[in-house]
Amino acid sequence: MRIAYLINQYPKVSHSFIRREILALERQGFDVLRIAVRGWDAELVDAEDRAEQARTTYLLQDGLGALAKAVAQAALRDPGRFLAALRLALRMGRRADRPWPYHLVYLAEACRALPALREFGAHHVHAHFGTNPAEVAMLIEALAGLPYSFTVHGPDEFDKPGFLGTGEKIRRSAFVVAISSFGRSQLFRWAAHRDWERVKLVHCGLEPAFHAVPPTPLPAAPRLVCVGRLCEQKGQLLLVEALARLAEKKVDFEMVFAGDGELRGEVERLVARHGLQRQVRITGWISSEQVRDEILAARALVLPSFAEGLPVVIMEALALRRPVATTYVAGIPELVRPQENGWLFPAGSVEALAAVLETVLATPAAELARMGEAGRLRVLERHDVDREAAKLGDYFHGACAAGRGAQ
């Protein structure tokens, strides 16, 4: 079966879960065409991402002229379908998070994708994220009758579903994937009850190559790690404030921020304001292998998120036998169980975060190891990439069979 994957930017450092899913589907016999809007000139630190970049078709790489030519070709090929897709794009622009000209661009991107999809012989289009990639997939269906599905991760899709036309995207889809029970419940809020059956649950997964390492002793140093894009959703500024409280109490610690992002300058300034340069290190973007090394070099992962879907880095840390301290947000409590494989604390509370950090640092190594083992078992049970990709593959086959039956 031939599946086209449609992503806004691919590959991307923070989207390794998409690459893992694609490769798992290919191991199971699917042919997968990668289509992305942008990302052909991205600087990548991971060799696997660089390989994926060479395999990806980019919709904007050849400029506006290629987009205009694709629109003209689509209009001439099937004027009726093109006008229906144009009406749909304009309708999606009403009360949207972006004005209607953006939705005409999405239509142009859909037209631009059609030649590659036809040459590939795609049976189905699957988009990651319920934002503009899902709309482009929906417009492809309107233009060419090619069924589509999409995976919703959050939190962006949960912030403004009415302005993203989420209900319409679900209604027209073959199916929709949520990565957690929480995510599925949010989609139920915006889908008509008759469309609830379209919403499926497929977890993000880890490949054995990432976590098939022997147990690594906990470091002697009181080191913690926070992995993720430096942005307002992840709560790193709150984490720095909590670390300052530990420093005031003369608690010994080291904190590694593994990642980069738009908030890096502000994080660095806050670290300097509190005089924490000796205890805090920011790595910048690093490869998956380096992320693994940073997690293994820490006693625990800390993720003080304000908004999430279900962070893959939590799965990664638990799979590597490191407990996790994180917030009662979205799908996180479905994976992290207090005192069994980690700690949960209220989002936005610097007092609660500081107290949890102090608890983690004071926890004996034997107890941390026990929690890490429990976390590994839970992740392997719920987040094996091949098992989850098999579920997704069954949905693809079902959608294809349903499409043939409707013809």
In sequence order, what are the beta bridge partners of 226? 257
- pLDDT bin (cut points 50, 70, 90) of residue 404 is low
Average pLDDT of span 217-240: 96
pLDDT of residue 97: 80
Report the amino acid identity of residue 211. Answer: H
Degrees to nearest 5, angle at CA 227 with 224 and 233 = 115
Q: How far is CA 194 from the centre of its chain?
A: 27
Report the amino acid identity of residue 218. Answer: L
- pLDDT bin (cut points 50, 70, 90) of residue 85 is very high
Is pLDDT at 255 greater than 60 in this prediction? yes
Q: How far is CA 320 from the centre of its chain?
A: 20
Residues 351-398 have pLDDT tens digits of 999 999 999 999 999 999 999 999 999 999 999 999 999 999 999 999
Q: Which domains does the chain have, with CATH numbers?
A: 2-205+385-406 (3.40.50.2000), 208-382 (3.40.50.2000)
Residues 112-135 have pLDDT tens digits of 999 999 999 999 999 999 999 999
In sequence order, what are the beta bridge partners of 324? 301, 342
Average pLDDT of span 281-287: 94
Give the highest mean pLDDT range of 33-47, 83-97, 160-174, 264-278. 264-278
Query: Three-state DSSP class for 283?
Result: coil
Residues 251 and 261: beta-carbon distance below 8 Å: no
pLDDT of residue 211: 84
Is pLDDT at 405 greater than 80 in this prediction? no
Is pLDDT at 70 greater than 50 in this prediction? yes
**pLDDT, the chain, mean:** 95
CA–CA dist 167, 401 (Å, integer): 24
Average pLDDT of span 325-340: 97
Name the nearest CA neighbour of 344 among 331, 333, 360. 333
- pLDDT bin (cut points 50, 70, 90) of residue 90 is very high
Residues 288-323 have pLDDT tens digits of 899 999 999 999 999 999 999 999 999 999 999 999
- pLDDT bin (cut points 50, 70, 90) of residue 46 is confident
pLDDT of residue 407: 44
